[in-house]
Amino acid sequence: MIVVTGASGHVGRALVDQLLAQGAPVRAVTRDPDKAGLPAAAGTYRADLAADDPGPLFDGADALFVNLAAGGAPTCVRLVEAAAAAGVPRAVLLSSAGVTGTAEDADNAIAHMHSVVEQAVVASGMRWTFVRGGMFATNTLDWAGQIHASGAVRGPNATSVSAPVHQDDLAAVAAAALLDDTGTHDGAVHHVTGPEALTPPQMLDIIGHAIGRHLRYVELTRPEALAAMTANGVPEPVADAILDWSNADPARTGVVSDAVKNVTGRPARTFERWVTDNVEAFRR
């Protein structure tokens, strides 16, 4: 039995589907099973992880998939400790490529929150694997409203580069680690990216091509971008960390890893492929 947190989210939903397809029993955690729309074959488990005692969540569990989006870092630390205390042998953590494993992590909110949970996982004594994701292709779903409204997308640094990664590839790497019985993934840190580094205007061109519209990227200054993100509810330290990433050395942010190919045997899905899979979100 594999416990999947964040099961109704982008990565969790893909992971649930892939685990079920490989015959693994799944316990999918959600705050609202009726709304989550998870496959009937997954056993759903209702919990607000930030508030509820994990209790029977770990009965019969062989592995735990941890997603910080399901309650935040302190919640995930508690969850990992509870899993270890319940005798769950393995944890796979969806972490971030922002983590450097150096003292610098303390100065970046995104790196810091993930490194705190990484440390808890290591300290738990469970067998562990980190899936450190680069920029999720799903982040561009945040552009959909502006694309619908005007075709002009406002954002920071037009020359920044990232290699957007498809949630199905993040899930495939996580599934391989969760189902591994050879020890190959024990203590492994997989830096998972898409197959090509792109600027935001290049990503926008790919979306525009898919929907048959000309889309424009409007570069904001850092203070303008910070104000726009915080107005949309992004906590300021997190917005600052995102802007640091978009202004960081392209040799770091644009890294293309071979983790998907190495772990799954298949090449990482392109951003074009991701847009094809999600094109309806961008149509008017």
Sites of contact with ligand NAP (CB under 6 A): 6, 8-12, 29-32, 36, 47-50, 67-71, 94, 96, 133, 135-136, 138-139
Segment (H or E) for 198: none
- Of 69 and 213, nearer to ligand NAP (C-beta) is 69
Beta strand pairing call for 2-4 and 216-219: unpaired
Closest separation in Å from C-beta 144 to ligand NAP: 15
Place of tokens 């290591």: 122
Among 98, 282, 101, residue whose Cα is nearest residue 193: 98
- Of 31 and 154, nearer to ligand NAP (C-beta) is 31
Closest separation in Å from C-beta 39 to ligand NAP: 14
- Of 49 and 179, nearer to ligand NAP (C-beta) is 49
* Angle made by CA atoms 173, 79, 112, in degrees to the nearest 5: 70
- Of 50 and 158, nearer to ligand NAP (C-beta) is 50
Closest separation in Å from C-beta 235 to ligand NAP: 12
Closest separation in Å from C-beta 182 to ligand NAP: 26
- Of 96 and 115, nearer to ligand NAP (C-beta) is 96
Q: Is 190 helix (H, G, I), strand (E, B) or coil?
A: strand
**Residues forming beta bridges with residue 188, ordered by sequence position:** 129
- Alpha carbon distance 125, 87 (integer Å): 10
Segments in the chain forming alpha helices (H): 10-21, 33-36, 73-85, 109-123, 144-149, 167-179, 200-211, 222-231, 236-246, 250-253, 259-264, 271-278
- Of 181 and 280, nearer to ligand NAP (C-beta) is 280
Closest separation in Å from C-beta 193 to ligand NAP: 10
| Token reading at 3 | 């416990």
- Alpha carbon distance 138, 110 (integer Å): 17
DSSP 197: -
- Of 139 and 150, nearer to ligand NAP (C-beta) is 139
Closest separation in Å from C-beta 238 to ligand NAP: 10
- The CB-nearest residue to ligand NAP is 9
Closest separation in Å from C-beta 183 to ligand NAP: 25
Among 25, 28, 127, 124, residue whose Cα is nearest residue 82: 124
